[in-house]
Chain A
Amino acid sequence: NAGVTQTPKFQVLKTGQSMTLQCAQDMNHNSMYWYRQDPGMGLRLIYYSASEGTTDKGEVPNGYNVSRLNKREFSLRLESAAPSQTSVYFCASSTWGNEQFFGPGTRLTVL
């Protein structure tokens, strides 16, 4: 089992460009999450999907959109990247309310 996979691992964007971060899990989890991690700020929830077909905003959703494509896949889209979105992005999955399993992360730099 691969667990939680994320692509790409690294990305550099120019301000205003768009991109989609991909996440997939093979643990048959119902819930999936997107976090960003910045120095001194801890993990902040961007969006989550409690189950297939549902998505909800987290703590810092502005500037992002998500799609729960199916039970396995949950993507995060930046429509018009800004330097403030420079961060490390983690995808995670879990059974509801329980231990979260994290992907390896995407390191995004917006110039």
Chain B
Amino acid sequence: QKEVEQNSGPLSVPEGAIASLNCTYSDRGSQSFFWYRQYSGKSPELIMFIYSNGDKEDGRFTAQLNKASQYVSLLIRDSQPSDSATYLCAFTYSGGYQKVTFGTGTKLQVIP
């Protein structure tokens, strides 16, 4: 089993709709969870992080964490064409060192 699983997509949503991106992970002791956005040909940039179960909102973005079910999701409300990118989820291990493990990313396409 891969440490982190993401649907590679592409996920296509119309402009103004809600985009829902999901990520599952295998390490029950994982502590911190991150969502990065990566535009084509560019480097990843952090858009959200979440440490506790529940929802965390930041503008049009909401991260949801369920440690019991081992999934984390990202909702993007009022999707815009500028949101079209690859979204990477990531988490830190609970072991003696806190390296970050990245998923392979979900490609989001927002159709005008």
- Which residue of A has the minimal Cβ distance to B44? A102
Q: Is B100 an interface residue (CB 8 A)?
A: yes
Size bin of chain B's contact surface: 20 to 34
Q: Is A82 an interface residue (CB 8 A)?
A: no
Checking A35, A42, A97, A105 against B98 with a beta-carbon cut-off of 8 angstroms, the contacting residue is: A97
- Chain B facing A: main interface SS: loop
Number of interface residues of A (CB under 8 A): 23
Stretch at the interface among B57-65, B71-79, B102-110: B102-110
Contacts of A43 on B, CB cut-off 8 Å? Answer: 44, 88, 102
A50 and B46: CB pair below 8 A? no
Interface residues of B in 28-47 (CB under 8 A from A): 31-32, 34, 42-46
A40 and B43: CB pair below 8 A? no
B100 and A100: CB pair below 8 A? yes
A-B contact pairs, 16 of them (CB 8 A): A33-B99, A33-B100, A42-B102, A42-B104, A45-B100, A48-B99, A50-B97, A56-B97, A97-B98, A98-B32, A98-B49, A99-B34, A99-B49, A100-B100, A101-B46, A102-B43
